[in-house]
Chains A and B, each alone.
Chain A
């Protein structure tokens, strides 16, 4: 999977590159809009992480230009502006998703995987770990082929942990993902536990072997099988 990252902040660019390379993606980075377009015309990418505020040519214009030229690569917009207008404009121009800075690594991975799966085969909409399967499209969850009823919040937590399989996800990041940033994630993170307890019960995982607790940090789903 090839990802192009476009951002004018070199520190962030380096940070994103390292994190995604570690996740076995093929990553290329550029720092301005014109270079991004050059790169997109030269090679085929599966996903572009596109910042909105860019020198030479801003992200929205890059997006417009590439869509006009028939480049259908998935686009995840990154922006420091939280403004709704930016979001709407980005999605109108054909962006697949939108992330406001500063996003968490887990959120980035979840979005990237979700976009790449959507762009690919429908079979890829199934997430698996141990005896659990989660269909992200139909939102069906099964345990040993038996359907499990989850509340929207429980589903959101499980899906997020599966997208970040084998990585510790902090309770704060989980809260931010589940409740959004309008609520105070510091306050809400204390209540992830409540949902976690219910989720584990429904998944017959009271002992916490499937969803493991990492003390003082958060939760992790470990699964050797890819």
Chain B
């Protein structure tokens, strides 16, 4: 899961829990509060009723006097003395029977009251909810049990309304939370994404670029700085390695030159026997083989430098034709037929010297690793912004697991064989490097025992860097 998703999820979860707790508290308070209010009202009513009962003489008329009090008639009231004898009952209590629990607590009771009996505003189903509470009240040295009730029709609807309001508010806040946290997470992570893509680009192309540092010295600034430092070190060690190869190859050239001149001079000494002469000659060949290796190494290290690319317009067809011509004797010797099927005047903007080098290496390989009497085919497609070339040759081919390794430096499929060909195992690695240097790529496919095909793709204008 992406960090953006995770942040959104966590922020949303925290928000949901918070607003859920808030809603529950509000819900509880809002639903309990009216009942507390009613309960205290009922308590007042109970006390008033007891006071009235105590103050009046105990006969039936006084009872009706209480009954005449309009105030008392709004409530359901029953008063019992300590002998469980009913001493007072309001008119409503006379008409409706309410079950009472003996606990000294307020509760809601729903009963069916036909409208014909008493109209308390009940709906058609004739069910009505009462808030009821029993009280134990002592007055004038006597103990009374007062049961009081009040119809609270409509309060349930209020609660339902409250719940739906809370639900709407709750889901609304969840939606806002998700949206806000998603946007905020995106905004926080955007610079990280930018740093990432920049780092990738630097990694792919050139180590000499750096991530630009932002203005505020925040965590991202530190990250960019750390990455830049890492690139510095990488570039330093890469450059040192390249420099080392360049210096080492360079330093090797002068002693090789000295030895070469010595061998060539020695071959001409008059008093040498033929066998000594041949020995010297073969030593010279070893030396020159070493020189080719040194040269290839020097080329490879120099090829890493982009500044060595000078772009000009090249006619690839003509270039292939020219090289094929130069390699003519090699082709004739093995009776290999080369078919140049490149479009006429195939244009490419690239470094001519390096392209030449690449084509020579490719064709040379196609000849070396070919059958006697085999075939080579060069094909090309010119697209809008790139040129793709295919070099096909018959021959023993390369095993699948070695297809990518043939581009590695010093990798040879068959050591003894290619030494006999004079290869140093650097040819294809040079090909790939030249392609990459131009912003392109080189890949190989092969059918063992049948053929090999090298694909080279080169961008047309990606070579504007000089």
| Residues B327 and A80 in contact, CB atoms below 8 Å apart | no
Are the C-beta atoms of A191 and B330 separated by less than 8 Å? yes
Q: Does B285 contact A (CB under 8 A)?
A: yes
Q: Known: A82-B295, A105-B261, A182-B357. Contact between A217 and B289, CB under 8 A?
A: no
Cβ of A102 and Cβ of B256 under 8 Å apart? yes
| Dominant SS among interface residues on chain B | helix
Q: Is the CB of A167 within 8 A of B422?
A: no
Asked if B318 is at the interface of the complex by the 8 Å CB criterion, the answer is no
B residues whose Cβ falls under 8 Å from a Cβ of A: 250-251, 253-262, 264-265, 267-268, 274, 277-278, 281, 284-285, 288-289, 291-292, 295, 298-299, 302, 326-327, 329-330, 332-333, 353, 356-357, 360, 364, 368, 421-423
Residue total for A at the interface (Cβ-Cβ under 8 A): 41
Residue of B288, B299, B421 touching A185 (CB-CB under 8 A):
B288
Chain A residues, CB < 8 A from B422: 184, 186-187
Bound-state CA distance A18–B269 (Å) is: 13
Whether A101 lies near B253 (C-beta < 8 A) is yes
Residue in chain B with minimal CB distance to A7: B254
Report Cα–Cα, A82/B249, bound state, in Å: 11
Report B-chain residues with C-beta under 8 Å of the C-beta of A217.
267, 277, 281
- Besides A106-B264, A183-B326, 17 more A-B contacts (Cβ < 8 Å) are A7-B254, A12-B254, A15-B258, A82-B295, A101-B254, A101-B256, A102-B257, A104-B260, A105-B260, A105-B261, A168-B267, A168-B268, A170-B267, A182-B356, A183-B327, A186-B289, A190-B333
Known: A182-B360, A216-B281. A104 touches B264 (CB 8 A): yes
Minimum Cβ distance to chain B for residue A89 (Å) = 14
- CB distance B261 to A12 under 8 Å? yes
Cβ contacts A4-38/B at 8 Å (1 or 0 each): 00010101100110110010000000000000000
Q: Provide the bound-state CA to CA distance between A170 and B262, in Å.
A: 14
Residues of A with C-beta under 8 A to B327: 183
Cβ-defined contact, B257 with A12, below 8 A: yes
Alpha-carbon distance between A82 and B298 when the two chains are bound, in angstroms: 9
Whether A184 pairs with B250 at a CB distance below 8 angstroms is no
Contact for B253 among A15, A80, A179, A194, CB less than 8 A = A80
A12 to B253, CA, bound (A): 11
